[in-house]
Structures are given as C-alpha cells and as structure tokens.
Structure 1
Amino acid sequence: MRIFISTGEVSGDLQGALLITALQRQVMTRGLQLEIVALGGDKMAAAGATILGDTSGIGSMGIIEALPYFIPTIQVQRRAIAYLKQNPPDLIVLIDYMTPNIGIGSYMHEHFPNVPVVYYIAPQEWVWSLSFERTKRIVSFTDKLLAIFPEEARYYQEKGARVHWVGHPLVDKVANAPTREAARTSLGIKPEKIAIALLTASRHQELKYLLPVIFQAAQNLQSKLPEVHFWIPLSLEIFRDRIEKGIQHYALQATIVSDQKQEVFAAVDFAITKSGTVNLELALLNVPQVVVYRLSPFTAWVGRNILKGSIPFASPVNLVVMREIVPELLQEQATAENITQAAMELLLNHEKKQKTLEGYQEMREYLGELGVCDRAAKEILEMKI
C-alpha cells in the first residue's frame, strides 16, 4: 500500500511520526507492505517515510510573520502536486498544515477522485474560523475526517463531514514517559534543585517575539530562586546558536537538550512555554505552566480591528474545556514582569498549583483513551482494505 502524508512544522512532524509507526503496526498484522512518501521532517523520516520535502521549519502565525514562508510554501505544495500527478498513491493523509493541504486536497479531489483523502488533525476552524468558506472547502475534498477533540468532531460533522473522533495522539506518547524520579536521575537533577523548562520557539518568528521576554523572566526567577536550573528542549537544530547566545546574554543557569525532551518534561517542576501542542503534553505530565505568545504589533492590530478575530483562548489546554486552567499572557500582557509573577504564584502557592492539576484531570477526559494512534491507523487503512 502506498500512502502520501502531508504535514508541516515541528508538531506536524511529531504527529506524522506517531501515525506512521501505528500504520506500520497495523499493516504488519494484515500481511501488507507499506510505502510512505511525505512532506514532513526528521521524525517522520526516522519512522520510515521517504521525505519529498522538509516542512518542519516552514511555519508561521500571523500576516507579517508568514511573508518569508510564502514562496517556500508554494514551492513545496507544487512539488507535492507534481509528484502526485506522476505517482498517484492508494491513499492521501493530510495532517494540519492548512494552506498547502487545502491545495493538495483540492487537487486530488479534482484530478484523482478515486484516491481517498483523510484529514487527520484538521485545521482548527472550530476555534477561529472567520467564514465557513474554508470549512466547506475542507469538507468538500475530505472523504474521512479524524478528529482529535470532541468539539472539533461536532463542528465538522455539523458542516457535513464524515467524522470519527479518535482522541489526541499525545495520550499515547506520554504513556511511555519515564517517571519523575527516573527522569531526574537520567538528567542529573538533584532533589533540592528547582527545574524549569523554557519552551521558547518551534517557529523562527518566536525567536524574535518570545525568546527575549521568556529569558528575561527566567533571569528574574533566577535572582529570586538561586536553586533554579533551566532546561531548554531544542525544537530545531538551527535554533541552537540563537538560544545559546540568549543564555549567555541573560546569564542563565541553563542546559539545552536536543534528544531528551520527554525526560525534561517528566522531570521539571514548572514550564514557561509558547502556546501550542506542547501545552497539552506538559498538562498530561502534570507540569504547571504559564503560556506566553506574541505576534508582530501589525498582525495583532489587524486581527483586532479589521478581521475582528475573537479567539477565546490560545492554549489548547484551555480551549479543550473552554475555561482557564493555565494562565495565558498574550501580546501586551506578555511581559517579563507578568510572566515572573505568574510563575512565582504557581511555584510557591500550593493551592493554586493543586487547582491547576485538578484542571488537568478534567481536561484529560476530553482527549480520549489510550490507543489513539492505532485507532487512527485503522480508520485510515479501512479506506482501502
């Protein structure tokens, strides 16, 4: 069976890798051979995909922020369509990555209507859609939509999609996480140390808008808590130099890790993090966190005054239950002083920390049971078997 998978950014590469591993398990039980060609990154390649284009570093959020990636995005979309034209697969799987995937899905629907298109982790139209036109387009070319959130499933079902709720794949990923004790031993973290994760960037723009304010907050915390040590998992290797310079500039007691992200998440006492999928992973591991995000002032102004965008929450932890479980500091509120204050409250106020952990328990109920990736793989393979 030949499957083409299309995704982008760091989180898409992770989700694609988890899915590929599950697909391989499922085809093995059926006595089939599996060939996967993909738009993705190193994790998907390690899982067994042939990478047609590396899209893990092509991603942005915002208007000004997206401009540097306009041409690379169009180029990778055209490369994918040219490949598909010459090598139509048995099945297409789209993962998030809205703009290129809408183009690819529309092309396949028009030119190869007999090739099923599955959308797994669909664009979050249920959160921030400004019109139903894009939703209609997604529904028009999608033969099966695999939802990861219950509200996402309801939204797309109401709009006419054939939907199956499978749950969130991070439920499977964190099931294999080490214990806190094992993780701290592996990383050499002494019992008396306060370990804090700094999740500053998985997109280039975040190095500019988030890294300085998060590192300034870390410096503030270091002056208040001498026993603190910061752990910085690296999303992309090309970010290392910028992060190392930031550590030196702010004189932080910090360690960069590139291949022990899960150990760091299992070991730390707290996290200061950009908004994104990583918030869910931290929550599933019971790590209190403060969520930070900034866009360019121009993008923020357009969103508020012209597009009239109204997003209830930025972090998926809060979006899942539609109430604040973790504090969010966005745009003008994302100052080093505010981050420091929110962090100190969660680190030192036991009652506030306990309330956060109770919120995490509530959130878990919306993410499904273990076996998400295998359920998704079965639903995908059913389209052709």
Structure 2
Amino acid sequence: MDSRIRDHADVIVDHSTDVQAGDRVVVSAPPAAEDLAVAVYERLAEEGATPVMLAGGQKLYGEDRASRAFLRTVDTDDLAEPEHLTALYEETDVAIRIRAPDNATEQSDVDEETNAAYQRAVKPTREILLSTRWCLTQYPTAGAAQLAGMSTEAYEEFVWNAVNKDWETQREHQEQMVERLDAADEVRIVSGDETDLTMSVAGMKTLNDYGEHNLPGGEVFTAPVPDSVEGEVLFDKPLYHNGREVEDAFLRFEDGEVVEHSAARNEETLTEILETDAGARRLGELGIGMNRDIDRFTYNMLFDEKMGDTVHLAVGMAYAECVPEDREPNDSATHVDMIVDMSEDSRIELDGDVVQRNGTFEFEEGFEG
C-alpha cells in the first residue's frame, strides 16, 4: 500500500478525530476508497475502537448513482427524516466520511426543488452528525483528477500534499488571523469593481480549521451578524453544486438579506439555493483560505475553499460554535459556499485596517499595507 495512504489514515484517526479506546465509529466510504478505508480500519483496531461501515460513502445530501435514482423517483411529499440513520449517529462518537467521486455530475439531472426538499428532510440527522467528532476527507480518484484538469498522478500528489502536512504549524499560522478576527467588529471585503461587502462579526467566535473536521483544513471562519451584511459580491470562482456549474454568481445584500442575484450560467440553480428557506438568503459563514499547499482551483469545495488568496462566503446555516449562546445562529437547511479570488486588486479590512492585500496577509512576507 502507498505509504501516503497510511499517512492519510494516521491523520484522520490521530489528528482529525482523536479516536480513543471504546469509541463507536461510523466510517462511510465508497469502493473506490477501499485502500484508505482499509488503512483507517487498521488504525481503529490499533486504538481499540468499534467501527461500523456504511458502504458507498453515504452522504446525507446524495451524490452516488443510488442517491440519484432515489431523488429522481421520490415524491417530495414522501421525503422525511431518516430516523434510523439519526438513531445510529445518536450512538456514535466519531463519524468519518471518505469521498471518492468518479462522476462529479451524477446529480446534474436531479431538480433543485427536490434537492432542497431533501436537505430540509435530513436537517435533524445532519445536526446530530455534526455533534460527533466528525471528519470529511477525500481519496484521490481519476474522476476528480479529470474534473481538476490534472493527471491522476499529479492529482494524487496534490491531494496528499494538502492532507499529509504539519497541522500544528498550520494551526499556529492561522491563529494569527483568528486573533485579528476575534478582536474585530467590522469586516470589509473588496475585490475589483464588483465586490464591496461589509458585515459585523462583533461578539462572534472565529474557528481555526486545521484539519480537525474538514481534511484538508486550512481556513479560519466565523459567522456574520445575520442582519449586518451590506453591499455586493461577485463570486468569480465557479460554484459546482449538485453537478451543475454556476458561473459568476452575484449577490447584493441589504440589511443582511439577498435582495438581488444573478449568474452568467445556471442562474436557476442559484435561485433554487436561495429559495431553500428564509435563512438561505442570509450569510451563515465568512471563511478565509490559508492553506498554501492548495495552489490551484479544482472544482472541489473541500479543497478550493482552503486555497490561499481566497475568501468564501456561505449562504444558509451558520455553525453554532461561531455564535454566542445568547444569540440565535442563522438557521437554514442549506449551507452553500462560494469563492472570491483575492489574489489581485483586493483587500480585507478589519475595522478599517488592511490585514490582507492581493492575497498576502499582514504577517506574511511581501505584505504591502
């Protein structure tokens, strides 16, 4: 077995989920990720954990052929919480999900209304899942390499460089931005002539994602005060959502709510996302990518949102960990990230001070305030 696969398994079990003896672990993995699943199972045995395997890389939102068949056939009135899956996760300490996509467009002919209805149905299950020590990661496949425009060998190198790294050093690097965001009241994001967005983060908590849940990690993120977002943003990196590519998504906010939107391609997909529920028209997340080993766009949000020189914003659900106990997080059945390229003619301001210009942070070499 490739030593990089065993290293990947070590990171999942030791760093991302900190598996202990007696932990009840659910592992979801499709056949294409069998080598990584085998390595993870060996490590779980060494730690004295009790694993259960869900074949097919079971995903609450559906991405494989079976999920597609179900979503294309089901009457949306029959969609309901999968209470048996909820019950499983209620008894779970650690949930590990390994993606290994072979066809990124498998869901492209499932209508967005059905997808949105399914998101609403599985929301209670997802909330229980997120209360475990969970980790989402990816095994490199030829299909994912093709989508990224890379050879399989080059894509494998890309994935494992992003995953198998010194996460403590990455944590320390990102903590500098966490401290700045936690001390700030207002964030302003400017990029070119199309993006000028302000929001309050007063009282919110910034989380340091260094591979504990998403693997790879490499971002810091927080939740905006829901009604504080004002201005316009053009997401100049494509959004790949349920097999559909949305290009140049544009949002205009007033009093925290999307009041205008458009897209150069697949605007109807963006519309359906925003119509999921009332919370889908508000921002649930502000994230800043800081993983310099992710240096190219691959049409895969798990990697792309961590890319250095980017900011991502998510409409929909806010992570409760970012919100003080005396406030209500933005509630939605959806959470969709979209990316702004900050590498040129761009800046991030905190309370009027520039902390990143053209993708370079104030604590990095080459910063020009």
Same fold (TM over 0.5): no
Between 1 and 2, higher relative CO (CA 8 Å, sep ≥ 6) is seen in 1
TM-score (norm 2): 0.30
More helix by share: 1
Say which structure is richer in strand: 2
